[in-house]
Structure 1
Amino acid sequence: MIDPEIRRFHELVASASRIVFFTGAGISTDSGIPDFRSPGGVWDRFKPIDFGDFMASEEARIEAWRRKFETDKSIRRAKPNIAHTVIADLTDKKKGSCVITQNIDGLHQASGVRGDRVIELHGNTTYAKCLRCQTRYALDPIRKAFEKSGRAPVCECGGYIKTATISFGQAMPEAEMARAEDETRSCDLFIAIGSSLVVQPAAGFLAFAKHHGAKLAILNRDPTEFDRIADLTLHREIGPVMASLAQGRAALENAEEP
């Protein structure tokens, strides 16, 4: 007999016509990327470098790039897991309208979600940008130059080059926030997956979705402060729940075949 909570999750997805997926670090742990807040994670080992310090200090810029390359191995070898691929499948079949993500690992795009359907609220760590002219840079040449010189990279225009992520003290990206708000306003089901939902203003999208009439489902191992307003909360491991969703859809499609 199917678990009642899992059945309810399947029913919510089946009845929805426009789903927004909101994802946090928990969705990528099965891909080998540690949660920043977990013991042994980046924030447990390093005090975050404020954006103001990055801009003001060559020493801070060098330290930021040193940390980047030291912690980059897990992201470079990571592959999408079942949760990523199920979301990609639903988005490809037009059930999912978009993915709003707090993650910076690029795994949603790697799983097959079109780039224009992924809204990255905290940027992307798989490439870099000049903070002045916005020129995009691949990381490998920067890594090689950094290992050789020990100097923080600088663009030809004179601007500082930084990973394309949003740092502490850096303004949230206005275009992405506006797009995320529009998508949230238009959805009929908002599914938050693998997020502690403590980072604002991003976490505010859940209340915004409910205010505009969407159903709200939360899939996260630990309780969150938004559980009280959710239509369904699943305090489960993400992989098995998302795998069950894929299996349920496959069974339904096979049953519908003549």
Structure 2
Amino acid sequence: MPSTSPGRLWIVATPLGNPGDFSPRAREIVQRADAVLCEDTRRTGLLFSQCGLTARRLVSFHDRNEQSRQEDALRRLREGAELALVSDAGTPLVADPGYRLVRACRAEGIAVSPVPGPSAPVAALSAAGLPPLPYTFLGFLPRDDAGRRQTLAAFARTPGSLVFFERKDRLQASLAVAAALLGPREAAICRELTKTHEEFILFRLENHGELAADLLGEVTVILGPPEDELRAAPEEARACLRRLADAAGRRLRPKELARQAHGLLPGWSVKELYELLTDGGAGDDQGA
């Protein structure tokens, strides 16, 4: 009797929050698959119910049982089954289980095919207004302070933006570490992507303490590229402030001048420019 040809593992992206983002191809795959491997069967089951989908079988496949479930998944694939791997939301493997299974499939010659769709890091970068290329995705930062410091320090000089996920109760601690290690730069908090209360909060990393402490929902953080290499020299900053003050007839207050100059002087925060003005370094007669 001829041996059964291997099956296929589908890597299926699911909506971040809006069910309308579930692609027709993804819907077709999860319904026809012999089983759907998912982080949380209840959460995936609810999503499928909201979308009017019926899966043949939902199988738990998460961080804590990935190793023990992998061999069973491989056995079924060897026997010709089609399996779909999904995460709780977005594109699997980007910050979720599944890498080892995909690697094992590749090693055995079992077909693995992506079914592209929503991805939180890409969605956040596309709409935040911070430089999208190049970017480095860090997943979830470590829970402990030492781990956060070690991770962020390793990428302090990496060109481009840094993107990571964070839980609301650890957000301020992570931003404080980032500000201390990475220096002044643009930043964005992208929360509840594609959901009713979607919000993009743009701020300066060094001013993270001014953010509301009760931010809720799923959070993706973007930290813009390093700015110190692009930072305008103090002499250039003072000259720019003088030109703006002269153009305004010396009528603008220091804080207003600092805000105007901020967009013209890479690497300088509004607070630093205000201090430059109030220290008397940008001119002799700025108004108070």
Q: TM-score, normalised by structure 2?
A: 0.25
Q: TM-score, normalised by structure 1?
A: 0.27
Rg comparison, structure with higher value:
2
Q: Which has the higher helix share?
A: 1
